[in-house]
Amino acid sequence: MELKRVVVTGLGALTPLGNNVSSYWEGLKNGVSGAAPITRFDASKFKTRFACEVKNFNVEDHFDRKEGRKIDRYAQFAVVCATEAILHSGFDLEKINRDRAGVIWGSGIGGLETFQQEVEAFAKGDGTPRFNPFFIPKMIADIAAGHISMKFGLRGPNFATVSACASSTHAIIDAFNYIRLGKADIIVSGGSEAAVNAAGVGGFNALQALSTRNDSPQTASRPFDKDREGFVLGEGAGAMVLEEYEHAKARGATIYAEVVGGGLSADAHHITAPHPEGLGAMNVMRMALEDAYMTPQDIDYINVHGTSTPLGDLAETKAIQKVFGEHAYKVNISSTKSMTGHLLGAAGAIEGLACVLAIVHGIIPPTINHFTDDPELDNKLNLTFNKAQERKVKAALTNTFGFGGHNASIIFKAFEA
């Protein structure tokens, strides 16, 4: 069968750099850090006392008080972000076939804050099970997709993808596949996460995964730097409206980019550590290129997973060099996690947005906080350190890798009719 073309017609962002797409992009291109001391709970006794929180988010600006109490923060982020993307896309809900419009959404954890609150309340009680009747509907990782579909009456494919930090990239790839196979015309896709709470910070601290640079939060996320020592936890959401090309053309939609390929693989190695030679990362990038009928030479920009961990950054650069060969030195590479922190299951969504925006604006966002070269890394690679670079971007690839060895890569291309 002939596969349909899939284009991006709407964008939404709710991030530590800004609560909409324009402010997110301004923060990225200007190299702004979203890290600061934690405000959402008392972190004074934690090893890590800072994070990349969403700022100035008032639930009552978006939900009435009663409704807001029934929705976990991660799902609130999802609904707000998806709303921006849908409005940005400009499709008329009364004119589209809503049976062919769906939502595929990713979250690595879901309602962690709700889970923490309910268990704490039970533990402090007398043992009588007094749980909030909305405990389960608030907590489950699929409920964000449900809320978006209910708000807009989208009756097409509707589910959640859960693959740790690769969750929202998997969601976008699934949306891409459903549309190109002709099973939907429009899918709102992306991901959200809200794990900046005691359970989230404490759990990642116990894994020794987080930076503990409490004296300098804004410089703590430093991918590829010799002194990197862990990631910075972030929260927020990213959304895209993916649409079948002829459907978008017929309604006169603005097209921002085309989705042309996706790759999926597993490290099959370790629950948290990457394969030391980047085997899974190599495989997933090759699969994405093959799916897109592209060669390494076609890629201008790679938005890397780049979490600022000693093992992860090294393994990913090794994989890029093996897949891209000499072209690895000609492509721009950057980790926007240096600015946003790591949004876990929402990382792929906001980093996919960064790729689309790089294509639209011809600007590569930087990897900030580079102070000292790491002798174990090939420092001839263009890791776009500290300052954005202007470049025409015809095609961009983004990588996301999750605990459990889950890998996903997706390629966006400048749209040509």
Active site residues per annotation: 165, 305, 342
Number of helices (H), then strands (E), in the chain: 13, 14
SS3 at position 417: coil
Query: In angstroms, rounded to a whole number, what is the distance separating the alpha carbons of residues 16 and 27?
Result: 9
Can you read off the two tokens belonging to residue 341?
Answer: 């922190």
- End-to-end CA distance of the chain, in Å? 21
Instruction: Decide: helix, strand or coil at residue 298.
Output: helix
The DSSP annotation for 154-201 comes to --S-EEEE-BTBTHHHHHHHHHHHHHHTTS-SEEEEEEEE---SHHHH
| Integer Cα distance of 316 and 267 in angstroms | 12
Whole-angstrom Cα Rg for the chain: 20
Q: What are phi and psi of 99, to 5 degrees?
A: -75, -15
